[in-house]
């Protein structure tokens, strides 16, 4: 768990699983209650990291060597942590983040075959001992999630959506494998209604913040 004062909640899962919708709903709910909260994302979250995000999400599938891609994600994360996440936690804020370290392990580790020992060593140096209090793992059938993603992102600027189905199946399997490894992981059935999922998330975080 993070050793700072605030609370850190991350939303993880494949493309089109509903995590971005739910992270925004949680932010709106807490903000409406005048709770000091920020909503951010990875890759991105600050000016420098958003520039790296643009490099990562646009272009052809084989644009980057997988190790280079991993380094870019971690470079974006380092700036994000130093300039946004850590300062907010030090001010006792709640930080909601759409993707974090688990996505790198899923996409670059399991999906693109980068050595996970290397990724773990790199991550340990990057994250400054900041670990989420709760990580929500969103899961839904891969065909459905990819269809959702295509409808959502009509501009087709997210190159990860264009990787083949087997890539996304590997990612899904990785995320599901996390559920029983640590109590911070909470499974979210992405096929449930928006309202049902939102209520489950509220119930989970209320155990900590109330």
Quickly state the pLDDT bin for 155 (edges 50, 70, 90). Answer: low
| Residue 101 maps to a domain | yes
| Residue 170 maps to a domain | yes
Q: How many domains does the chain divide into?
A: 1
So what's the pLDDT on residue 156? Answer: 56
The answer, yes or no, to whether residue 204 has pLDDT greater than 70, is yes
| Residue 122 maps to a domain | yes
| Kind of pairing between the strands at 185-189 and 37-41 | unpaired
Domain that holds residue 202: 7-209
| Residue 124 maps to a domain | yes
So what's the pLDDT on residue 2? Answer: 55
State how far the Cα of 26 lies from the Cα of 39, in Å rounded to an integer. 9
* Model confidence pLDDT, tens digit, residues 125-142: 999 999 999 999 999 999
H-helix segments, 39-141: 47-57, 66-80, 86-90, 101-104, 116-126
| Residue 1 maps to a domain | no
Q: Work out the average pLDDT over 166-193.
A: 95
Closest CA relative to residue 100, chosen from 190, 23, 180: 23
In CATH, what number is assigned to the domain containing residue 168?
A: 3.40.50.300
The answer, yes or no, to whether residue 79 has pLDDT greater than 90, is yes
| Residue 48 maps to a domain | yes
| Residue 189 maps to a domain | yes
So what's the pLDDT on residue 154? Answer: 61
CA angle 7, 124, 13 (to 5 degrees): 60
So what's the pLDDT on residue 147? Answer: 86
State how far the Cα of 210 lies from the Cα of 28, in Å rounded to an integer. 17
So what's the pLDDT on residue 153? Answer: 63
Q: Work out the average pLDDT over 171-189.
A: 96
| Residue 59 maps to a domain | yes
């Amino acid at each position: 768990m993070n050793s700072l004062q605030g609370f850190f909640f991350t939303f993880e899962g494949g493309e089109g699983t509903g995590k971005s919708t739910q992270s925004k709903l949680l932010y709106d709910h807490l903000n409406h209650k005048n709770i000091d909260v920020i909503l951010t994302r990875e890759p991105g979250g600050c000016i420098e990291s958003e520039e790296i995000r643009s490099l990562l999400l646009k272009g052809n599938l084989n644009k980057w060597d997988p190790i280079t891609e991993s380094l870019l994600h971690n470079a974006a994360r380092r700036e994000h942590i130093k300039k946004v996440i850590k300062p907010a936690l030090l001010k006792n804020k709640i930080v909601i983040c759409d993707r974090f370290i688990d996505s790198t392990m899923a996409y670059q580790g399991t999906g693109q075959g980068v050595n996970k020992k290397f990724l773990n060593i790199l991550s340990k140096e990057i994250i400054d001992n900041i670990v989420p209090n709760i990580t929500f793992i969103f899961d839904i059938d891969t065909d459905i999630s990819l269809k959702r993603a295509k409808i959502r992102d009509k501009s087709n600027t997210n190159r990860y959506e264009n990787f083949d189905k087997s890539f996304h199946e590997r990612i899904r399997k990785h995320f599901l494998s996390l559920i029983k490894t640590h109590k911070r992981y909470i499974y979210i059935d992405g096929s449930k209604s928006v309202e049902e999922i939102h209520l489950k998330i509220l119930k989970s975080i209320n155990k900590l913040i109330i």
